Homo-oligomer: A and B are copies of this chain.
Amino acid sequence: MEPVNNRHRVLVDAIEKRISANYYDPAHLLPDSGLTELVRLATLAPSAFNFQNWRFIAVRTPEAKRKLWEAAGRQAKVLEASATFIICGQLPDHSVLPERLRPSVEAGFMPEATSVLWVRGANALYTGNARMQRDEAIRSATFGAATLMFAAAANSLATGAMVGFDPDEVVREFGLGPDEVPVLLMTVGRTLPDNWPQKPRRPLQEVLEFA
């Protein structure tokens, strides 16, 4: 098979074979180096203005898992998965953007003037617009989460995104900042055989329109 076709097949397979896992092998441990690698890859996701307005809390000790389990309706997977990430979005604040863009300017591909324009653009888009700020926190964190999902697949690990949790309790128990939204939880680990297959999808004609 040609390399390019193999590449196509591997990527399509990762999408087609992904499941939202509920049952994890509780004996499977992931070292912190493995969790760090997943987050390194997750942060290569895109974000508006390269804001990178996300934060990842890797919950993997028994004590921390127990707290998260309480905040997540006592769902067993939080205890059984190797780790659960609390994926936070941060409300974008243009004042941090010069620092986020400086490495791109220093690398020589982004003109200084462009970074100034971007900061101005971010100011115009977000300042005083609480809804847009929250939307962006959710978008960025979700792009990070989706990329973490594929990073896990690369490492033969299963994932499960969860929205069923008490956000206030998560904020309180895990010390999120006032500018942080717990956007979703993502379990990561080795699956057990009892998981459901990928659930059937809506017919494409319901969700796709050409213009």
Contacts and interface: CB of A to CB of B under 8 A. Distances in A.
A14 interface: yes
B125 A164 contact: yes
Interface in A68-123: 86, 100-101, 103-104, 107, 109-110, 121
A162 to B, nearest CB: 9
Interface string A38-71: 0111011110101010111111110010000000
Interface string A171-182: 000100000000
A204 interface: yes
A202 B52 CA distance: 7
Interface in A1-38: 4, 6-8, 10-12, 14-16, 18, 20, 32, 35-36
28 contacts: A4-B156, A8-B155, A10-B10, A12-B41, A16-B44, A18-B44, A36-B204, A39-B208, A40-B204, A43-B201, A44-B198, A55-B208, A55-B209, A58-B211, A59-B211, A86-B211, A101-B199, A104-B199, A107-B197, A109-B196, A109-B197, A121-B164, A134-B135, A135-B183, A139-B142, A139-B183, A146-B147, A150-B150
Interface of A: 4, 6-8, 10-12, 14-16, 18, 20, 32, 35-36, 39-41, 43-46, 48, 50, 52, 54-61, 64, 86, 100-101, 103-104, 107, 109-110, 121, 125, 131, 134-136, 138-139, 142-143, 145-147, 149-151, 153-156, 161, 163-164, 174, 183-184, 196-202, 204, 207-211
